[in-house]
Amino acid sequence: MNNFTDSLRAHHLKATPQRLEIANTLYKYGHVNIEDLYEIMLKKFNSISLATIYKNINIMIENAFIQEVKIPNQKSVYELTKEAHSHLVCDKCGMVEDITLDLSSISELAAHSTNFQIKKADLVFSGLCKNCQ
């Protein structure tokens, strides 16, 4: 268990028990979708609603404490904010893994050939994880 009280405060967030639990859950599992998060939260806060979790998630995203990873054809997952990285997603079991890649040459190529001003690039690779191959 990590103590996220200070880091929450550093992001101008009150360190409520719910937010601490969300932070610890994301720390423990890496990437968690809203349904799994709800289930985990229910074990600790037996009357918590999905709306409350969303409210907390949204303010934690606004304050850049956590971030949403959008995955095509799958529910978004949430993770603690870290350096820019891409993701590997298993089509079979849904496992999400981080991968750090230098996307600068791809971004440059894309910007150059389209005149699009690229601000951010994060790739999602889909396929089969080691266990599902």
Question: Which residues of this protein are in contact with Zn ion, per CB under 5 A?
Answer: 79, 90, 92-93, 95, 98, 129, 132
Q: How far is the CB of 102 from Zn ion (least distance, A)?
A: 16
Closer residue to Zn ion, CB minimum distance, 12 or 82: 82
Strand partners, 87: 98, 124
Closer residue to Zn ion, CB minimum distance, 11 or 85: 85
Q: How far is the CB of 122 from Zn ion (least distance, A)?
A: 9
Q: How far is the CB of 125 from Zn ion (least distance, A)?
A: 12
Tokens encoding 110: 């894309």
d(CA 122, CA 133): 24
Place of tokens 């993770």: 79
Under DSSP, the state recorded for 80 is E
